[in-house]
Structure 1
Amino acid sequence: MSEAAGPLGPAGHNVRRNVRRLREERRWSYRDVEERLARTGRVIPALALSAVDAGQRHVDVDDLVALAVAFSVEVDDLLRPPVACQTCHGAPPRGFMCMECETSALPRA
């Protein structure tokens, strides 16, 4: 996992929120996730997972795949906007960001 070179983009925020949601739904600690990740062969320390959760650390492709395996979900499930938001349902209008869940939609090119 690498240090955040800049602010997270929309996909990075989706991954961050989905990892947090899945961890909280399962009532797993960061240590629990760390142990499950270690079994996949990808070691991500609890402190680094906390930084991902806070949006202070980017998730690289290998981390993304390992997180999907650890949570028994598809990679796409981590990349999609969370749909639990009662305000935007994971799909705010193009060019806007939901103030409730922080999901943003890219403006049309």
Structure 2
Amino acid sequence: MSAAHNISRNLRHFRRARGWTQAEVSRRFAEITGEAPRSVAAWSAAERSPESGRTRSWTANDVAALAVLFDVPIADLFEERPVCRGCEGEPPAGFTCNACGATGAVAESVAKLRAMLAPSETGGAL
């Protein structure tokens, strides 16, 4: 697998591990780079590039910004990660894979909602 494929696959892995949406990644990435935020469709295509057969080109600046964004060493972005045999990286909506921890779209939304409804750090409810 190419380095670009590994970066794309790891982008999805690191984003999901943090419970971030593609829109959040776009916003955070733009804050780091000073560029305009990329569309959710662009992030989605970048994450799917290994499966789609089309490779997303990553610049050195992109790689450095992704390392800062996810607070990981640059080498981690190039690490070859096997696709989960349990869910193939895409569990059904509303489910979390017991093998890799990936969550389906509905589960991510429920987690975000729970976080929003949790008491704030100041002790009061939202």
Give the TM-score band, short-chain normalised: 0.5 to 0.7
Q: Choose which of 2, 6, 30 in structure 2 pairs with 1:10.
A: 2
Q: Retained in 2: the 8 A contact 1:42–1:63?
A: no
Q: Choose which of 47, 50, 65 in structure 1 pairs with 2:44.
A: 50
Superposed structure 1 runs of 4+ greater than 4 Å apart: 83-86
Aligned residues: 78
Letter in 2 for 1:58: S
Structure 1 stretches of 5 or more lacking a match? 1-8, 87-109
Deviation at 1:83, TM superposition (A): 6.2
What is the match of residue 68 of structure 2?
Answer: 69
Asked which structure has the greater CA Rg, the reply is: 2
Structure 2 stretches of 5 or more lacking a match? 86-126
Letter in 1 for 2:14: L
CA offsets 1:9-48 (integer angstroms, 9 cap, x no match):
5211111111100111111111110111112125351322
What is the match of residue 28 of structure 2?
Answer: 36
Q: Distance in 1 between matches of 2:59 and 2:70?
A: 16
Q: CA RMSD in A?
A: 2.1
Q: Indicate the percent of aligned positions where both proteins have the same amino acid.
A: 33
Q: Distance in 1 between matches of 2:74 and 2:18?
A: 18
Structure with the greater relative contact order (CA < 8 A, sep ≥ 6): 1 or 2?
A: 1
CA offsets 1:47-89 (integer angstroms, 9 cap, x no match):
2211110114222211111111111111111011126867xxx
Q: Distance in 1 between matches of 2:25 and 2:34?
A: 11
Q: Distance in 2 between matches of 1:25 and 1:78?
A: 14
- Aligned to 1:54, the other structure's residue is in SS state helix
